[in-house]
Amino acid sequence: MINTNDILQTIRMIDHQHLDVRTITMGVSLLDCCDPDPHAACRKIYDKITTSAEKLVETGEDIETEFGIPIVNKRISVTPMALVAGASRTADYVPFAAAMDKAAKAVGVNFIGGFSALVHKGMTEGDKKLIAAIPEALAVTDVVCSSVNVGSTRAGINMDAVALMGRTIKACAERTADRGGFGCAKLVVFCNAVEDNPFMAGAFHGVGEAERVINVGVSGPGVVHHALQSVKGQSFDVVAELIKKTAFQVTRMGQLVAREASARLGVPFHDFNEDYAAIGLSEDMFHDEHHLDAFGASRFTRFFARALTEGWQGLRADWEDPSWTADMAVYQEELESYRSGVTG
């Protein structure tokens, strides 16, 4: 049960440590929008998105008001457009991006992702057409994001796709040069893209997912940073325990928002993501806060990532691992040498 102290801690994290929900993203399948007629397909895409997400922004704003939790972005991800547009008899895929853009603006979201192609093992004709359309599509739309997966650990790297995307990125920068090449900021080139990635600009709704899903991402850019300042100079286990508790509080808030959004929209909750880098779990942060150089920071990052994902039990198990013990012995020796050099 959440007690008064828990509530006050969350309020303090929001007010003083810049905690927020980075995004509520609705994933929408467009597989049923395929049509040989490109005009009909674009009309179906617009109708499907606007019908599915018509209350997304309103619901997010209601949750913000009711719980006092900032929700920075409301977004949509859709089925990779190369799969949907590939059924249409057309060489020009820009209208599909335009339909996405129009629908996203109609429902009021910040971004829509999914003008995408998955080409890690090879390119279909539809994939090639979509990639060719990317520079123009991102130039004539405002909130559409695009992504292309060019490799995977299992399949290797599609070097033809890599070369093609190099030229595509250059063309995208040139086509949006009047806006500082902003088109490139809406384009991601992946290796090992996951099919349930709801986070821009590389978001798309995987073919193995449900008709509609809700995803929530939490990012507290200053939460861990501020928390660490209160334990400067204290022991390693005190710092680890503080970060674990802070991450738990952030996660709990994100799950609350996810549960509420899912219930109110009648859409199953699919994924929750806590961006540890964004909340301060980075080597640079440990270097700044604890005066560690790269060797120390990398070990701290590994240690705390394990603590955050597996809890204290996993952390203790890592401590007892012989390889970890040896690693930490080297770290302690190097750290003492480093500190001696700094103070000397």
> Distance between CA 177 and CA 190 in Å, rounded?
23
Q: Identify which has the larger pLDDT, 153 or 224.
A: 153
Domains of the chain by residue range: 24-212, 217-343
DSSP per-residue letters across 204-264: ---TTS-SEEEEEEEE-TTHHHHHHHTTTT--HHHHHHHHHHHHHHHHHHHHHHHHHHHHH
pLDDT tens, residue by residue, 252-296: 666 667 677 777 777 765 554 545 444 444 444 444 444 444 444
Q: Residue 63 region, left (φ>0) first, then alpha (ψ -120 to 50), else beta?
A: alpha
pLDDT tens, residue by residue, 52-95: 999 999 888 888 777 767 777 889 999 999 999 999 999 999 99
pTM over 0.85: no
| Closest to 168 in 3D by CA, of 143, 133, 144 | 133
Please answer whether residues 45 and 97 qualify as being in contact, where contact means their C-beta atoms are separated by less than 8 angstroms: no
Query: Domain spanning 24-212 has what CATH number?
Result: 3.20.70.20
Q: Mean pLDDT over residues 302-319, rounded? A: 49
pLDDT tens, residue by residue, 166-200: 999 999 999 999 888 888 999 999 888 887 777 78
